[in-house]
């Protein structure tokens, strides 16, 4: 029997890079190469976006608090101000740390919008992902969640949609009851179950009032203070090392600076606190530490050998979150 000759498919028209649309990661690349999108132009697009966003919230009011709400705070909300004002039928837009069932956003029955911050990023640029979700939420039918999707590589970022002069004042909640308006029907079993799980997992957290972007939290064995700081990393490490070597990096008796997180291009120093130390107890020592830190940041003298050792210890105890 003669062997069948393999059929050849007609070659797809090749398109230029500028015309290639975004598709699902496992779908054939629209360029016609025959490879999956993620292994072809999707890989280059994702890499380009990743290179773009060392600090995705840079330029937004309250950048440090954006980082804190993304990485550290379980339950919080912030009213957002849009650059071009609210569209008709949208009474308000509110940023939330998370929403039920991990929805990216929700258009409530009254037309208001809740935008979730702690969802996964599909493009590598959180500011672009959130802007895409926000735009879709503003056009979604009231009473509907916004579903996840792969975000186009090109599109507006939050910095283009939000008022650069708008206020950014987070309100930290003890639980996630803000998901459900008081007037709403609480009969949705999925939302109820999601609310119970979220409340059970939430770590008690309080935002300090006397210093910026500083959050106290309670855990079973000890409490912590986690403080997102806007200073350049190398400069901040030098300043913390000077204070640590001088014995002035703590927040009082039985407290100590234990290391730091690195998140979205900013440093987050972390202190261990005794379980008896409340958020209110942290206010005065945190304000005093801020004064010592400002003086250390203003110093340009070379580090002493002891300060260099302290800096090395702080660097070794640094954990990158994102």
Chain segment 158-172, per-residue pLDDT in tens: 999 999 999 999 999
Q: Look up tokens 């939420």; give the residue.
A: 137
Residue 3: per-residue pLDDT: 40
33 pLDDT higher than 60:
yes
What's this model's pTM, rounded to 2 decimal places? 0.83
* Cα separation values, 252 from 74, 216, 232, 281, Å: 26, 15, 26, 10
**What is the percent of the chain where pLDDT is above 90?**
72
H or E element that contains 95: strand 93-96
Question: Would you say 92 and 81 are in contact if contact means Cβ atoms under 8 Å apart?
Answer: no
For the chain, give the mean pLDDT.
89
Q: What are the pLDDT digits (tens) for 108-124? A: 999 999 999 999 887 88
Rounded CA gap, 235 and 150, in Å? 37
Rounded CA gap, 44 and 133, in Å? 23
Of 130, 52, 134, nearest in space to 86 by CA:
134
How confident is residue 22, by pLDDT bands cut at 50, 70 and 90? low
Rounded CA gap, 258 and 241, in Å? 12
Rounded CA gap, 26 and 49, in Å? 19
How confident is residue 23, by pLDDT bands cut at 50, 70 and 90? low
More confident residue, 11 or 46: 46
More confident residue, 29 or 100: 100
Instruction: Pick the range with the lowest mean pLDDT from 39-53, 101-115, 148-162, 204-218.
Output: 39-53
Q: Look up tokens 């942290």; give the residue.
A: 282
What's the token pair of residue 219? Answer: 């855990």
Instruction: Centre a 10 Å sphere on the Cβ of residue 33 and count the other Cβ atoms it contains.
Output: 14
Helix pair angle (233-245, 305-316), 10° resolution: 120
Q: What are the pLDDT digits (tens) for 232-266? A: 999 999 999 999 999 999 999 999 999 999 999 99
User: Stretch 34-60: mean pLDDT, rounded?
Assistant: 74
């Amino acid at each position: 029997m003669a062997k069948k000759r393999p059929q050849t498919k007609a070659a797809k028209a090749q398109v230029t890079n500028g015309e290639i649309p975004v598709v699902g990661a496992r779908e054939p690349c629209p360029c016609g190469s025959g490879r999956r999108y993620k292994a072809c132009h999707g890989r280059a697009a994702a890499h380009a976006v990743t290179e773009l966003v060392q600090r995705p919230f840079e330029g937004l009011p309250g950048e440090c608090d954006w980082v804190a709400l993304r990485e550290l705070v379980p339950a919080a909300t912030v009213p957002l101000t849009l650059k071009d004002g609210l569209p008709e039928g949208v009474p308000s837009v509110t940023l939330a740390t998370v929403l039920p069932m991990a929805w990216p956003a929700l258009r409530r029955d009254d037309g208001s919008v809740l935008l979730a911050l702690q969802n996964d990023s599909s493009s590598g640029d959180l500011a672009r992902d959130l802007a895409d979700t926000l735009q879709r939420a503003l056009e979604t039918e009231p009473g509907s969640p916004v579903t996840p999707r792969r975000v186009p590589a090109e599109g507006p970022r939050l910095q283009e949609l939000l008022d650069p002069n708008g206020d950014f004042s987070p309100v930290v909640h003890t639980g996630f009851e803000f998901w459900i308006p008081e007037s709403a029907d609480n009969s949705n079993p999925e939302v109820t179950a999601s609310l119970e799980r979220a409340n059970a997992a939430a770590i008690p957290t309080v935002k300090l009032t006397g210093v910026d972007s500083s959050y106290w939290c309670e855990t079973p064995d000890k409490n912590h203070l986690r403080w997102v700081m806007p200073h350049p990393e190398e400069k901040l490490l030098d300043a913390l090392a000077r204070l640590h070597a001088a014995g002035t990096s703590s927040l009082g008796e039985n407290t100590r600076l234990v290391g730091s997180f690195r998140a979205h291009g900013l440093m987050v120093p972390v202190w261990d606190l005794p379980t008896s130390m409340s958020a209110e107890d942290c206010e005065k020592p945190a304000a005093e530490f801020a004064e010592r830190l400002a003086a250390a940041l203003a110093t340009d003298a070379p580090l002493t050998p002891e300060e260099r050792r302290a800096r090395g210890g702080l660097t070794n105890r640094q954990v990158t979150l994102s």
